[in-house]
Amino acid sequence: MAKSPKQDRSVTAVVNDDISEAKRLEMFRAQVLMRQAEQRAFDLFLENLVKGTSHLSLGQEAIAAGVAAAMEPGDLSFCTYRGHAHTLARGVPVEKVLGELMGRDNGLMRGKGGSMHLTSVEHGVMGSYAIIGAHLPIACGAAWRAQYKGQSDVSVCFFGDGTTNIGAFHEALNFAVIWKLPVVFVCENNLYMEYTPISEVTAVEHPAADRASAYGLPRIIVDGNDADEVYRTMLEAFRKARSGEGPSLIECLTYRHSGHSRADPAKYRPEGELERWKLRDPLTIYKARLREFGVSEADMKAIEDDVKRVVDEATEACKAAPFTSTDILFTDVYADGGWAWRN
């Protein structure tokens, strides 16, 4: 079972490699931003300024960062209810995300969607889907459009380990392969569905990778806590997709530091599990990586501070923003802008 993180990873100093410093700093900043913004979301929840539910990606940031870094403008993301990180990683402003969680008028969807449905078409974030599995076929459809129209964008679909056991997963994978669609399926295996360990309900050890052969796909497993590994794997998947070689299915091994949702104290974890994984916190790993490549502590600190400023300013802006105005209750049910179902 994919239960214990690698702890013996020996780090060898490398001076030049395939990833530029600028790219690395971009990925670092993205991870710091997700971490801070989500911690802030949790604080705001404790202040009762965020209502409803929310699902954090604390500990899983390297995946969103690595994938986003490999994407081109115009590529599309399809996320789950655990979608803050993926939304932020595509460049959606923190203020718009926090504003949405807080039901403010400056929110991404002005409070109509909430935490589980973050969407920013302008940034290629084509929605966050809260019914398990539904967006895998939807991502196929977007990829089909690109293929049909001869457009070069790729659709990326994020989902969890638990999602691999629902029917739509199977239908989407088969469909994507037979139509050779430019879609990349990214499974974030964080070892749990909500509270149940994935190993207790899955017939194979690797819920995504061990199913790849059922669709004629190669078995790909990456360290999901290492943004560089994710990034490199994604570059190859995008290359395949753009050159008409079809979809990829990538299983990223990771762990969530927080509970499943804000209501979950995560008591079901075996003792020591969280602590072991925290040793492999993606930010710890990435800072070590930056050091290896000669980035100074001061430079890292500057990025962290700058992100903190951004998150603080966004928080203040949201607190100052008006609650969403009630006149939007009836708008955008239909394309005519309204809600009339009769004449």
Partner 1 sequence: MAQLTYRDAVARGIAQEMARDEDVVFLGEDIAKAGGVFKATVGLLEQFGPLRVRDTPISEQAILGAAMGAAMTGLKPIAEIMFADFIAVCYDYIANEFPKSRYMTNGQVKCPLVVRVGNGGGARFGAQHSQSIENWVMQFPGLKVVAPSSPVDIVGLMAAAVRDPDPVIFIEHKSLYATTGEVPDGEIVDTLGTAKILRTGSDCTLIALGMMVPRALAAAERLQAEEGISCEVVDVRSLVPLDTQTILGSVARTHRVFTIEENPRVLGWGAEIVSIIADEAFYDLDGPPVRITTPNIPLPASDILEDLAIPSVGRIFETVLRSMRS
Ligand X SMILES: Cc1ncc(C[n+]2csc(CCOP(=O)(O)OP(=O)(O)O)c2C)c(N)n1
Interface residues toward ligand X, by CB under 6 A:
82, 130-132, 159-163, 190, 192-194, 260
What DSSP assignment string belongs to 143-182? Answer: HHHHHHHT----EEEEEEGGGGGSHHHHHHHHHHHHTT-S
Interface with partner 1 (CB under 8 A), residue from 23, 29, 145, 232: 145
Residue 1 as a binder of partner 1 (CB under 8 A): the answer is no
Rule CB under 8 A: say whether 204 interacts with its own copies. Answer: yes
Which of 1, 11, 131, 201 binds its own copies (CB under 8 A)? It is 201
Residue whose pair of structure tokens reads 């940031």 in the numeric block: 61
CB 38 within 8 A of CB 58: yes
Strand partners, 323: 104
End-to-end CA distance of the chain: 59
Q: What is the DSSP string of 197-215?
A: BGGGS-SSSSTTGGGGGGG
Helix (H) / strand (E) containing 187: strand 183-189
Please check whether residue 252 is in contact with residue 189, taking contact to mean a CB–CB distance below 8 angstroms. yes
User: Among Mg ion, its own copies, ligand X, none, what binds residue 130 when CB lies within 5 to 8 Å by partner kind?
Assistant: ligand X
Asked if residue 2 binds its own copies (CB under 8 A), the reply is: no
197 DSSP β-pair partners: 192
Residue 120's binding partner out of partner 1, Mg ion, ligand X, none, with CB under 5 to 8 Å set by partner kind: partner 1
Q: Name the amino acid, one letter, at 288.
A: A
Rounded CA-CA distance 248/156 in Å is 10
Our CB check for partner 1 shows the closer of 1 and 329 to be 329
Q: How far is it, in rounded angstroms, from Cα 38 to Cα 82?
A: 11
204 binds, among partner 1, its own copies, ligand X, none (CB under 5 to 8 A by kind): its own copies
Q: What does 163 interact with, of Mg ion, ligand X, its own copies, none (CB < 5 to 8 A by kind)? A: ligand X
Binding mask 154-193 for partner 1 (x = CB under 8 A): -x------xx-xxxx--xx-xx--xx-------------x
Please tell me the number of Cα atoms within 13 Å of 184 on its side-chain side. 29
Q: What is the DSSP string of 7-30?
A: --------SS-SS-HHHHHHHHHH
CB of 243 to partner 1, least distance (A): 18
Q: Using CB distances below 5 to 8 A depending on partner kind, what does residue 268 bind out of Mg ion, its own copies, partner 1, none?
A: partner 1
82 binds, among ligand X, partner 1, its own copies, none (CB under 5 to 8 A by kind): ligand X
State which H helix or E strand residue 63 sits in: helix 61-70
Least spacing, CB of residue 239 vs its own copies, in Å: 20
User: Which CB sits closer to ligand X, 130 or 172?
Assistant: 130
Lay out the site mask for partner 1 across 206-245 (x = CB under 8 A, - = otherwise): ----------------------------------------
214 binds its own copies (CB under 8 A): yes
Q: What is the distance of C-alpha 324 from the center of its chain?
A: 26
Tell me if 330 contacts partner 1 by CB under 8 A: yes
| Residue type present at position 124 | G
Residue 194 makes contact with partner 1 by CB under 8 A: yes
| Residue 190 site contact among Mg ion, partner 1, its own copies, none (CB < 5 to 8 Å, cut-off depends on kind) | Mg ion
By a kind-dependent CB cut-off of 5 to 8 A, residue 328 interacts, out of partner 1, ligand X, its own copies, none, with: partner 1
- Contacts with its own copies by CB under 8 A lie at 165-171, 173-174, 177-178, 200-204, 210-211, 213-217
